[in-house]
Amino acid sequence: MFLRELKEPVSRIRGAGPETAALLSRLGIVTAADLLCHYPRDWEDRSRPVPLSQFVKAQVCTTVTVIAHEWIGFGRMRTLKVRVEDESAQAVLVCWNRPFLEKQLALGKRCRLWGRFQYKYGEIQSSSFDISAVSAEEQGILPVYPLSAGLSQTVLRRLVSRALDTWGSSIEEELPRFIIEKEGLLPRPLALRGIHFPATMEELDQAKRTLIYGELFYLEILVGRRAMERRNVRRGAVPRAAGPEPSLSPLQGRLLERLPFSLTAGQREAVAEINRDMAGPFPMARLLQGDVGSGKTLVSFLAALAAVDGMGGLPPGQAAIMAPTELLARQHAENAARLLEPLGLRLSFLTGNLKAAGRKELLKALAQGEIDMVLGTHALFSQDVNYANLRLVVVDEQHRFGVIQRSLIMAKGHSSAGAQGTPDLLMMSATPIPRTLALTVFGDLDVSVIRDLPPGRKPIRTHLARQSNEGRVYDFVGKELAAGRQAYFVYPLIEAAGSRTADLKDAQSMAARLAEEVFPRYPVALVHSRINEEEKQEIMEKFRRGEIRILAATSVVEVGVDVANASCMVVEHAERFGLSALHQLRGRVGRGPEQSYCFLVYSDELTEDGKTRLKVMLEHSDGFVIAEEDLKLRGPGQIAGLEQSGYLSLGLADPVRDAEALARIRQEAFAILEKDPALLSPENRLIAEVLEKASPFGTLGL
């Protein structure tokens, strides 16, 4: 039986009554497998005691006697302080929200104490400690678990230990035996015991290494299998040209001739890679990464032209370009109209807001192949939309889309009438995915990166300003407006939301204040997600034409909006925005020839976290560096798009910290898949289960 198949409820464990089971379920522990996978957050090495007097050097681990109870504060804030001593010193345990410890830690009682201490108010203090009665069974290295109220380390240790005794030895191996031997890993049952109750610190290390290996191995099997299956999806019957590098398609050549500028080196490279894919024997699945303003839209248009021309001996097909918001989709549609209609392309625009009559006609034209290229929101893939011959799908700002869409899109390609098989897929993202993560999670995609920006852009100057200095920021923006420029002001809220957030500025009130008090000479408008599409569109159009000079907004302007004359981005309460949002917002300016500025205005009560983020913004402009910093600050689970991917259910492994191991594991997993999947037996049952989720164009990361 594999660990995950151990579905016995925890209540089957002796000593886990209904009350304990309820407490456990609050930690997400329902089955015995859940319990065994509730890994310790730390380990307490009792074989090496650290007396209280050594608190500066290390975590204290000692035996103490309770010598006094004291209470501080009043009412709900009333807090218990327990004074204890060992042979070296006295210390105080501050028991926030744990008044019940008064009974447990009776005067004179001898206890094992463990935790980090600080010197505060003339005392050695700790508020995060573990304490339990001295008992014979708790010796050696003990696990310290994440707890919830009402559960104690002692109870959890006892339950885990019993679960290990009952089921531990019948847990089946998950890794191929030759890998265990080659890598010096532990057999699964020993690894499981070793992570909870290691005999030595060395054993603990080995157990960790084993479990991390297992988690990453299956992640990479999944990724590798998906990449392979993609290569197995041959296109339709038409043989593809193999041979020299495909040159530009005729339409691509004509577009480039008409452009007033030439492609950047990064754009040129990306187009070459895309052309190679689109002329190749397998459907493209490519992620195009490029910082904000690097000109990804143009690259996607060139890809669309390859589809319409019929690259690589395939007949001409259709291209669909999908954007996450209507605002952005419309902007793309307008650009496409400007650049591509003169080439004779038949374009259309499809969003959820399209009126019934127009929609019906459009759908008919699409299904009959009278449209070459369609731009829109996710409405492009609604049930009733059919394509005559969908050849290319571009997903802009792919991290903005949820999990399901990728497979939906692919299904659409298959069902299109003149289908040549799976359409080519180009995903674009300005939230750079750090290399380490790209390898793990987007490992089944090919990646193109545009590293350069179009020439002539001046680096944006970023300034931090305290809220009390907002006047100086407004003055500065005033001068830019007087020089003919435009400005964005961004707020964390749409409107004032009652007293709790009274000291937070909101877009609505600030739009009024900017218009009436601060910049009465300039037209101001407000956009946010609750303004209806038609109005939003009108406002954006006026802003683009310069009729509106100041846009007060929420982070709806975050993605994609491109107005070259805007030179100021003011983000108020900037500490409330995440790094990737701030980077995107800043990327809204610096798109024209003029010097641009970004002001990050922060409130007075700034958390450490907020401070760090603002500092990153001040010091870095490269989106890739910012993404790496973001990853360091937040951990991989939080990176845009990954949290919903569902596959990153890593318990111990951390693809960033374990990057080196990951690279090796990846090779190992891929080699097995390629050479001989049978090597995985007798673990095939598990592999099959993992692979079941891995359809060739599954949902990983999108």
Distance CA 701, CA 652 (A): 20
Closer residue to ligand ADP (CB): 495 or 541: 541
Binders of Mg ion in range 549-578 (CB under 5 A): 560
Local structure of residue 133 (DSSP, 8 states) = E
Closer residue to ligand ADP (CB): 163 or 305: 305
CA distances from 682 to 1, 181, 272, 493 (A): 12, 16, 44, 55
Figure out which of the listed residues 205, 261, 344, 360 binds ligand ADP, where binding follows CB under 6 A: 261
Joined tokens for residue 335: 């650009």
Figure out which of the listed residues 138, 334, 533, 562 binds ligand ADP, where binding follows CB under 6 A: 562
Closer residue to ligand ADP (CB): 280 or 454: 454
Nearest distance from residue 397's CB to Mg ion, in Å?
7
Binders of ligand ADP in range 446-465 (CB under 6 A): 454
Size of the site for Mg ion (CB under 5 A): 1
Q: In angstroms, how far is CA 499 from the centroid of its own chain?
A: 32
Site string for ligand ADP, 286-325 (x = CB under 6 A): ----x-xxxxxxx---------------------------
Joined tokens for residue 260: 């007033």
Closer residue to Mg ion (CB): 175 or 375: 375
Closer residue to ligand ADP (CB): 440 or 621: 621
**261: partner contacted, choices ligand ADP, Mg ion, none (Cβ within 5-8 A by kind):** ligand ADP
- The pair phi, psi for residue 654, each rounded to 5°, is -140, 105
Phi-psi map region of 97: left, alpha, beta (phi>0 left; psi -120 to 50 alpha): left
- Give the closest residue to 447 by CA, choosing from 294, 284, 632: 284
Phi-psi map region of 93: left, alpha, beta (phi>0 left; psi -120 to 50 alpha): beta
Nearest distance from residue 463's CB to Mg ion, in Å?
25
Q: In angstroms, how far is CA 156 from the centroid of its own chain?
A: 32
Binding range to ligand ADP, per CB under 6 A, among 102-110, 145-153, 261-269, 368-376: 261-269
**429: partner contacted, choices ligand ADP, Mg ion, none (Cβ within 5-8 A by kind):** none
Local structure of residue 517 (DSSP, 8 states) = I
Using CA of residue 124, residue 125, residue 131, residue 137, what is the dihedral sign?
Answer: negative
Q: Are β-strands 60-72 and 110-115 bridged in parallel, bridged antiparallel, or unpaired?
A: antiparallel
Q: Which residues pair with 229 in a beta bridge?
A: none
Joined tokens for residue 320: 């669909």
Answer yes or no: are the C-beta atoms of 392 and 426 closer than 8 Å.
yes
CA distances from 648 to 219, 222, 651 (A): 8, 11, 9
| Helix, strand counts (H, E) of the chain | 22, 22
Roughly how many angstroms between the first and final C-alpha of the chain, as a whole number? 32
- Give the closest residue to 657 by CA, choosing from 632, 634, 637, 627: 632
Size of the site for ligand ADP (CB under 6 A): 17
**263: partner contacted, choices ligand ADP, Mg ion, none (Cβ within 5-8 A by kind):** ligand ADP
Binding range to ligand ADP, per CB under 6 A, among 240-248, 257-265, 279-287, 517-525: 257-265
Site string for ligand ADP, 203-242 (x = CB under 6 A): ----------------------------------------
Nearest distance from residue 489's CB to Mg ion, in Å?
22
Which residue's CB atom is positioned nearest to ligand ADP? 295
**157: partner contacted, choices ligand ADP, Mg ion, none (Cβ within 5-8 A by kind):** none
Nearest distance from residue 296's CB to Mg ion, in Å?
5
Closer residue to Mg ion (CB): 62 or 289: 289
Figure out which of the listed residues 252, 267, 275, 422 binds ligand ADP, where binding follows CB under 6 A: 267
Figure out which of the listed residues 263, 302, 362, 694 binds ligand ADP, where binding follows CB under 6 A: 263
CA distances from 407 to 69, 196, 321, 391, 395 (A): 62, 40, 16, 15, 13
Q: Which residues pair with 142 in a beta bridge?
A: 44
Within 8 A by CB and 6+ apart from 547, the residues are 523
Which residue's CB atom is positioned nearest to Mg ion? 560
Site string for ligand ADP, 414-433 (x = CB under 6 A): ----------------x---
**590: partner contacted, choices ligand ADP, Mg ion, none (Cβ within 5-8 A by kind):** none
Residue type, 470: E
Indicate whether 264 belongs to the interface with ligand ADP (CB under 6 A).
yes
Question: Binding residues for ligand ADP, per CB under 6 A?
Answer: 261, 263-264, 267, 290, 292-298, 430, 454, 560, 562, 591
Question: Binding residues for Mg ion, per CB under 5 A?
Answer: 560
